[in-house]
Amino acid sequence: MLTEIKKSKKRLLITMDEVTNNEYVKVFASTFQILLRKDLPIYLLMTGLYENIYSLQNDEALTFLYRAPKIMLEPLSENAIASNYKAIFNVSTEQSMKMAKLTKGYPFAFQVLGYLCWKYKDKELDEIIPEYDHYLEEYVYEKIWTELSEQDRRVVAELSSQKEIKVKELRDKLDMNSSEMSVYRNRLGKRGIVDISKYGYMSLRLPRFDYYVRMCVMDIE
């Protein structure tokens, strides 16, 4: 089929969403590599969580994926989110920005908050936040937290008590050297949990994740 597509001077694009490092994906990726070597017009676009992509590309049989171009998605624009909320809910600019800041540009939070505001049209925003927290915890944060290493949790827990902190100050509090901190800083940054865009500083990126983490730490203690 691909040979016929090539004769017709056409190309085939295959898209895969939420990829994980399982046997089916590995078999497919290996087959894709063989087809590339035969110079057939096939292209592949995969999306997934950082840790799943990282695990897949570091598989001994699939290291060719390591050389594939990658795009790390950034948070959505809070201004764009506010514009959407303002148009849909017919609220003031101030109110729409307040709603947008609650999402921190996180796509899932954008969807959930919009859904809850639509569902509870007669409620104030502050009344909706508990259910908003529940959605984030159940569908995202619980999984993120349970998959973190003990040291990752220490870093995140310390960040949860501050809006932003100097990396050096965080190192001192956790009794880590520069090399150790770099490992956790980069890993948590790539997973989209920590914002490392400001040189020398770190902060939590996910909306109201600080609140969730503080509750978890209290339960542990």
In contact, 129 and 112? CB cutoff 8 Å: no
Q: Report the alpha-carbon distance of residue 26 to residue 36 in Å, rounded.
A: 15
Q: What backbone phi and psi angles, to 5 degrees, belong to 211? A: -65, -45
Q: Report the alpha-carbon distance of residue 44 to residue 79 in Å, rounded.
A: 32
Quote the crossing angle between the two packed helices 167-174 and 150-159, to the nearest 10°.
120
pLDDT digits (tens, 9 = 90+) for 155-205: 999 999 988 999 999 999 999 999 999 999 999 998 889 999 999 999 999
- Which of 63-67, 143-147, 204-208 shows the lowest per-residue confidence on average (mean pLDDT)? 63-67
Quote the crossing angle between the two packed helices 150-159 and 178-190, to the nearest 10°.
80
CA distances from 209 to 2, 123, 144, 145, 176 (A): 47, 23, 10, 10, 23
pLDDT digits (tens, 9 = 90+) for 91-112: 999 999 999 999 999 999 999 9
